[in-house]
Amino acid sequence: MSTLAYGGRRGGSPFRGWDRFDYLLVLPAVLLVVYGLLLIYSGSAQSYHGPFASFNNPVGKQIVFAVAGFTTMLVFSKLDYHFLTHYSWALYILSILSLLALLFLGHSAYGSTRWFNIGPIQLQPSEFAKLATILLLARFFSEHGGDAREVKAMVISLIIVLPAALLVFIQPDLGTTVTFFGIWLGVVLVAGVSRRHLIVLASIGLAVLPFVWTFAVADYQIKRIDVLVRPEQDPLDAGYNVIQSQIAVGSGQVFGKGFTNGEQTQLAYLKVPTKDFIFSVLGEEFGFTGAMLLLALFIFLLMRGIRAAQIAGDTAGQLVAVGIVVLILMQTFINVAVNVSLFPVTGIPLPFVSQGGSSLVSVFMSLGILQSIIMRHRAYRQA
């Protein structure tokens, strides 16, 4: 009977299910990309002077990636997410391997190794590792009754996250490491983890923290945390980005200095103004008003994502949706927090907005998976 309910649809028209496609989930994403294109244009105005239609033009390149990302989203919408959870072990192992390979073959920038250079394209395996981890976690819990109440299940789920988190940590990429644990926490919470277990785990974590601080955290990370607290101590070195982003954001005031009119951006005081510090460009040129618009788009998008988790047809779908929502939430939060000096400088792109193909394609891929979950929810409800 269940086979009939599901299999019956398989043979139908290729447009079946699209009527349930969530346009309201895609709309804020597309608006965010457009917003991002404006900011990338402004942020690159002082460094790029070539023709518009060029792959060297950050804006042109981003449009190409946006189209590629959008297509990817459509493909993944059509693809049953169970296909992905089914192969999640393989995907997970593949991304662990690519993170390992990165240690030896990767391209370094800003003191960190995060990319493969494939021709003109930089591939950032951690973007895909995050998705693979989400899929594996979802599969694991769905196979265990969607339940994290048992200590054993919780510990195993943590063991799933740890290798990826560690490999990212030694890149080093503190922001992504935190994102991994955020995803894990979100998933196990929804999977019903016992609060008592979480508290015990948190206590252990706190106990271990000093050792991590001493032996595992790189000097540069300590310095970045230090300059976050006291940026004036080191105004030209580690504190530079913190101070310049503070000045950019703060000086935007209520309405901003106007599009392409921010001195911090246009006179190159901001570093990486199209990537990690794109929010500072926004803060400077569009002010508090512009920032509220951006955050509103994100809140709308995330709430729509949570709706996907709400209506998901099965535990796997729900947990994947939760993982993806947490992923976007964590990245957005950390990126903006860095720009407003609430988090040490770490290279996390702003989803949909920051310049960068891997980020854009992977985040659209996530949206596609969410759509896949939404489009298939009735299959199970009706069963």
Partner 1 sequence: MSFLDDGWSTGHGGGGPTRNRPHGNLAALRVAVVVMFAILIAQLFRMQIIQGDEYARRSRENHITQQIKLAPRGLITDRNGEPLVENVPVYTAIILPELLPETRDERYKIYLRLEQLIGVPALEIDSMVKTQEIDGRGYINVPVRKYLTQNQALRLEEASADLKGVRLDVSPGRRYPAGNEFSAMLGFIGPQTKEEHAQLTSKGYQLNEPVGKAGIESYYETDLRGAPGATAAEQDAQGRLVQALKSKDPVPGNGVQLAIDSGLQRFVTELLYDHMAGDRVNGDASVAAAVVMNAKTGEIYSLVSIPDYDNNVFVEPEKRAAEINALNHDEAQKPLLNKALNPAAPGSTFKLITASAGLETGRVTPATSRFIPKVLEVKGENGVLYPLIDWKAHGNINFTQAIAWSSNIYMFMISCGILGESRGLGKDDETSAVVLGYYARQFGLGRLTGIDVGGEAPGIIPDPAWKKRVHAGEGRDSTDWHYADTCFMGIGQGDVTATPLQIARMTAAVANGGKLLTPHVAKAIVGADGQVVRTIEPDWTQVAVSDRNLAEVRKGMHESVIGGAGARAYQPGLDIAGKTGTAEFNLPDGTLAQHAWFTGYAPFDDPEVVVTVYFDRGIGGDKAAPLGGQILSYFFAEVKKP
Q: Which residues bind partner 1 (CB under 8 A)?
A: 2-3, 6-7, 46, 80, 82-83, 85-86, 139, 142-147, 186, 189-192, 244, 246-254, 263-264, 267-269, 283, 287-288, 291-292, 295, 298-299, 302-303, 306, 309-310, 312-319, 322, 325-326, 329, 333, 336-337, 340-342, 380
Output the furthest CA–CA distance in the chain (Å, rounded). Answer: 69
- By beta-carbon proximity to partner 1, the closer residue of 112 and 251 is 251
Structure tokens at 184: 């894990």
- By beta-carbon proximity to partner 1, the closer residue of 216 and 342 is 342
Nearest approach, Cβ of 81 to partner 1 (angstroms)?
9
Under 8 Å between Cβ of 147 and 191: yes
Q: What is the C-alpha to C-alpha distance for residues 315 and 5, in angstroms, rounded to an integer?
A: 18
- By beta-carbon proximity to partner 1, the closer residue of 7 and 210 is 7
Nearest approach, Cβ of 192 to partner 1 (angstroms)?
7
Strand partners, 122: 117
Position of tokens 């105004």?
A: 235
- By beta-carbon proximity to partner 1, the closer residue of 66 and 242 is 242
- By beta-carbon proximity to partner 1, the closer residue of 73 and 308 is 308
Under 8 Å between Cβ of 376 and 80: yes
Count of other CB atoms within 10 angstroms of residue 319: 28
Nearest approach, Cβ of 214 to partner 1 (angstroms)?
29
Contacts of residue 34, defined as CB under 8 A and 6 or more positions apart, other chains included, come to none
Q: What is the C-alpha to C-alpha distance for residues 78 and 84, in angstroms, rounded to an integer?
A: 12
- By beta-carbon proximity to partner 1, the closer residue of 349 and 357 is 349
Nearest approach, Cβ of 337 to partner 1 (angstroms)?
7
| Closest alpha carbon to 43 in 266, 242, 246, 285 | 266
Nearest approach, Cβ of 75 to partner 1 (angstroms)?
17
DSSP string covering 128-187, please? HHHHHHHHHHHHHHHHTTT---SHHHHHHHHHHHHHHHHHHHTTT-HHHHHHHHHHHHHH
Nearest approach, Cβ of 136 to partner 1 (angstroms)?
12
Structure tokens at 381: 């409800």
Name the amino acid, one letter, at 80. Answer: D
- By beta-carbon proximity to partner 1, the closer residue of 62 and 244 is 244
Contacts of residue 348, defined as CB under 8 A and 6 or more positions apart, other chains included, come to 175, 176, 179, 276, 331, 334, 335, 338
Nearest approach, Cβ of 190 to partner 1 (angstroms)?
4
341 Ramachandran zone, left/alpha/beta (phi>0; psi -120 to 50): left
Nearest approach, Cβ of 105 to partner 1 (angstroms)?
31
- By beta-carbon proximity to partner 1, the closer residue of 193 and 365 is 193
Taking each helix axis from N to C end, the angle separating 239-252 and 219-229, rounded to the nearest 10 degrees, works out to: 40
